[in-house]
Chain A
Amino acid sequence: MGKVEEYPIIWLQCATCTGCSVSILNSESPTIKNILVDEILPGKHLNLRFHPTIMAGAGQAVIEEMEETKQRKSGSYILMIEGAIPTIEDGAYGCIGEKDEKPITMLSAVESLGKEALAVIALGTCAAFGGIAAAHRNPGKCVGVDKLFKSLSIITPLINIPGCPPHPDWLVGTVASFLLNGLPKEEDLDEYKRPKAFYGRLIHENCPRRADYDEGKFAKKFNEPGCLYELGCKGPVTYADCPLRLWNGGVNWCINAGSPCIGCCEFGFPDVVSPLYQKMDVEALPIVGRRIEIE
């Protein structure tokens, strides 16, 4: 048995619903067992040192494990961030735990761990862009990692893997590419730091109901065949490979279940694609999706 290289991972959960983690548990091939236990590629093992939903330990011991990883593996661990980061009242609305009876805010954890990581993956639309937590009124003044890093002048390489939730393949494929080829090059990511391999095409381009759209055959209510555009489908402005990749091990995906795409991978979701079930205003199309500038 040759030497196995360990790749330490710290997985922070911030203002999240944990749906991103649950989606990754659904990874089909490799399975989550392959990801956690086996050499995911020959001689390479992902060493998940901190994950609130999975790890055995609790309390101060796991906080110390996280801090020790930061110190001992500085510059060599991957930081996964799930959920947006509440910034209101210095981050007091969201804490990941405490040390010596002092709460550790998500804000301070993302800052201190983010600075010293080899790379950061913002997993899911909330971590990437603010998402649901940052939707209008944004009670916790939540932001995505990119915006936060810019405001703190943190320059650690960042990859966004949006989706509500993201498809497990999008994360696994991104990590495998890193293990084989190193960090993505500039041309591998789009202007939202999404890997083009997964977010390179519109849903609309590959939709199995595209012929219905082209022929003007539109469903007027749910249960009907035809293109779902008039029921509010956001496929024409959403970049993701769902129609080709399918979900849950290829069993189904939104539009095959007769449900319009709600644009969950896009910057500004859910506000820019709301109302979700209202036909998009054609005039509004140019401002939706990739054409929006990141603040």
Chain B
Amino acid sequence: MNKIIIDPVTRIEGHLKIEVSVENGEVKDAKSSGMLFRGIEFILQGRDPRDAQRITQRICGVCPTSHSMAAALNLDSAFGISDKIPDNGRIMRNLILGAAHIADHILHFYHLSALDYVDITKVGRYEGSDAVLSSLRKFAERGELGPFVPRYEGDYRLSDDANQEVAAHYIEALSMRSKAQKMLSIFGGKMPHNMGVMPGGVTMVPTTDKIISFIWRLNELRDFIDRIYLPDVLAIAEAYSDYFEIGVGCRNLLSYGSYDLDGKESDLTKRQRLFKQGTVSIDLNVNKLDITQISEEVKYSWYESGSAETEPKFGKEGAYSWIKAPRYGGKVYEVGPLARVMTNYVGHDSRVKELVDSILSKFKAEPKNLFSVLGRHVARAVETKYIADSMHDWLLQLKPGESSYVDYSIPDESQGVGLVEAARGALGHWIEIKDKKIANYQCVVPSTWNLSPRDDRGQPGPVEQALIGTKIKDESNPFEVVRIVRSFDPCIACAVHCIKM
């Protein structure tokens, strides 16, 4: 049995180690390890509850906006104002979150994933007159190719022309993701770490000039998504179509739902949302979401078991990660864009069904093939379009000059829950307030689900399951491993959390 250790796994957020054992070219065992512990929830204890609104964003600088949404919903609920947020506030929050998802998904496909499929060094052979490609060729000719080499060599399947085209899109996508963050900052103040989302709504009142500026930035992004991003995903899927069969995973998906379409229902599991709440299996069985089914287990994580709080215990016998193992009804669940898209797909969302079916028919594939490396990329691209198109409608629902915020007082004692979908999947924040201060703050984060180690029963986490059984063509260039891992868009700063629920 050969061991392949990839540490660090790069082009993700945070510090991840992946170890696989290979026998006769097939992965027999896999371990996913988070390699940094910060303990943000400990840091939150004793603070003013509103400070969680800003501090939890610092869990992750790639997806801070999702944390700001989860924190706001959590604090709304603890302050007893979940049903009182003005429509402007609800819609502006959706627009801020949507802008973040567009930025994140473009970043993930082009800057975190594409180099596994695209041979960017082929820009050295470019002979045309395009300014961007010519400058890339000049870069290649100078000979110092960092940060694009070293890299795995071998399985790059696109033609020179296609490699060059996607390389140019890699550069264009850099400015597009930046543009999405600019759009976000129209209502959010700045990015990363927006300032606009607060319990009670959003800090600023929308005005017509801001709305129109948002609309036209969004239109430019929608054009990029339709004209460049979706076609590039399909072009890569065409060349690497075997990846519709690789990296299947745990076969169960979970979504909290996201983008509130109604602000009056206080129970977030029942609120009407653009993405619906629920679980879906690979047989397309769908079930209602019940958050009392969520547990976290630490047998294989570097934490002391059994106390009210989970204290770090580095070097614990048998443990191999700072990430805990969240489970739903004792079973392993994957979260992320695939879960959202499939929940809506089986929930008869005609727009999502139409987008997904058109892609499936192009590849003569079935819905179960979406449980795969390519399925995750496709789902991410499909939902980017779906979100961006929906945002356009929401912008026109804003009432310029009207309030986006409702005031409140901080209760002496209370509890709250905030459920939302981060770019990478289901994100939950929980709070307990005592003496107007944070007594306990808990985050269960998408990559904690996806990158989790084994649970107390020994069931491997979703990424581990996706790796086990995979055939590795070249053990010194294990493309299959990194393509599988990156298809989950790991975010390890988020994933590492420590306080017991």
Which A residues are within 8 Å of any B CB, using their own CB? 4, 6, 8, 13, 15-23, 25-26, 28, 31-33, 36-38, 45, 47-63, 65, 86, 89, 92-98, 101, 103, 106, 132-133, 135-140, 142, 164-165, 221-223, 247-249, 251-254, 256-259, 262, 264, 270, 274-278
Q: Are B192 and A62 in contact, with the CB atoms below 8 A?
A: no
Q: Are A59 and B5 in contact, with the CB atoms below 8 A?
A: yes
State the CA gap A164–B151 with chains docked (Å): 31
Contact of A278 with B147 at beta-carbon distance under 8 Å, contacts A31-B175, A132-B43, A137-B42 already known: no
Q: Are A251 and B186 in contact, with the CB atoms below 8 A?
A: yes
Cβ-closest 8 pairs across A and B: A19-B61, A257-B189, A139-B39, A275-B48, A259-B195, A56-B151, A247-B190, A55-B147
Partner pick for B185 among A15, A98, A251, CB 8 A cutoff = A251
Assess whether B111 is interfacial by the CB under 8 Å rule.
Answer: yes
- Closest-by-CB residue of B relative to A61 is B150
Partner pick for B196 among A52, A89, A258, A270, CB 8 A cutoff = A258
Q: Are B185 and A247 in contact, with the CB atoms below 8 A?
A: yes
B66 to A: closest C-beta gap in Å: 12
Q: B187 — which chain A residues lie within 8 A by C-beta?
A: 257
- Closest-by-CB residue of B relative to A13 is B15
Assess whether B267 is interfacial by the CB under 8 Å rule.
Answer: no
Assess whether B144 is interfacial by the CB under 8 Å rule.
Answer: yes
Partner pick for A45 among B144, B177, B312, B405, CB 8 A cutoff = B144
Q: Are A89 and B8 in contact, with the CB atoms below 8 A?
A: no
Q: A31 — which chain B residues lie within 8 A by C-beta?
A: 174-175, 178
State the CA gap A138–B44 with chains docked (Å): 11
Instruction: Given A62-B10, A65-B146, output 6 extra A-B contacts at Cβ < 8 Å.
Output: A18-B14, A18-B62, A31-B174, A59-B8, A136-B43, A137-B43
- In this complex, which of B9, B144, B315 has the most chain A Cβ atoms within 10 angstroms of its Cβ? B144
State the CA gap A86–B312 with chains docked (Å): 14
Q: Are B192 and A22 in contact, with the CB atoms below 8 A?
A: yes
For window 4-29 of B, CB contacts with A under 8 Å fall at: 5-15, 17
- Closest-by-CB residue of A relative to B498 is A139
Q: Are B7 and A97 in contact, with the CB atoms below 8 A?
A: yes
Assess whether B188 is interfacial by the CB under 8 Å rule.
Answer: yes
State the CA gap A164–B192 with chains docked (Å): 8
Q: Are B51 and A95 in contact, with the CB atoms below 8 A?
A: no
For window 184-212 of B, CB contacts with A under 8 Å fall at: 184-193, 195-196, 198, 200-205
State the CA gap A249–B40 with chains docked (Å): 30
Which B residues are within 8 Å of any A CB, using their own CB? 5-15, 17, 35-40, 42-43, 45-48, 50-51, 54-55, 58-62, 64, 107, 111-112, 115, 120, 132, 135-136, 139, 142, 144, 146-152, 171, 174-175, 177-178, 181-182, 184-193, 195-196, 198, 200-205, 312, 314-315, 322, 403-405, 407, 482, 493, 498
Q: Are B314 and A94 in contact, with the CB atoms below 8 A?
A: no
Partner pick for B51 among A58, A97, A275, CB 8 A cutoff = A275
B146 to A: closest C-beta gap in Å: 4
- Closest-by-CB residue of B relative to A17 is B61
B440 to A: closest C-beta gap in Å: 13
How many A-B Cβ pairs are below 8 Å?
A: 280
State the CA gap A25–B132 with chains docked (Å): 17
- Closest-by-CB residue of B relative to A15 is B38
State the CA gap A132–B184 with chains docked (Å): 23
- Closest-by-CB residue of B relative to A28 is B178
Q: Are B51 and A222 in contact, with the CB atoms below 8 A?
A: no
Q: Are B10 and A58 in contact, with the CB atoms below 8 A?
A: yes
Contact of A55 with B195 at beta-carbon distance under 8 Å, contacts A139-B39, A249-B182 already known: no
A122 to B: closest C-beta gap in Å: 16
State the CA gap A257–B115 with chains docked (Å): 37
State the CA gap A140–B59 with chains docked (Å): 14
Q: Are B189 and A247 in contact, with the CB atoms below 8 A?
A: yes
Q: A137 — which chain B residues lie within 8 A by C-beta?
A: 39, 42-43, 45
- Closest-by-CB residue of B relative to A135 is B43
A186 to B: closest C-beta gap in Å: 31
Q: Are B144 and A6 in contact, with the CB atoms below 8 A?
A: yes
Q: Are B191 and A58 in contact, with the CB atoms below 8 A?
A: no
- Closest-by-CB residue of B relative to A23 is B192
Partner pick for B189 among A132, A138, A221, A254, CB 8 A cutoff = A254
Contact of A17 with B58 at beta-carbon distance under 8 Å, contacts A52-B10, A137-B45 already known: yes
Contact of A223 with B405 at beta-carbon distance under 8 Å, contacts A17-B64, A54-B147 already known: yes
A-B residue pairs in contact (CB < 8 Å), sample of 15 = A19-B64, A19-B192, A25-B174, A26-B181, A28-B178, A32-B178, A37-B136, A54-B147, A95-B36, A96-B15, A165-B192, A222-B405, A247-B191, A249-B178, A257-B185
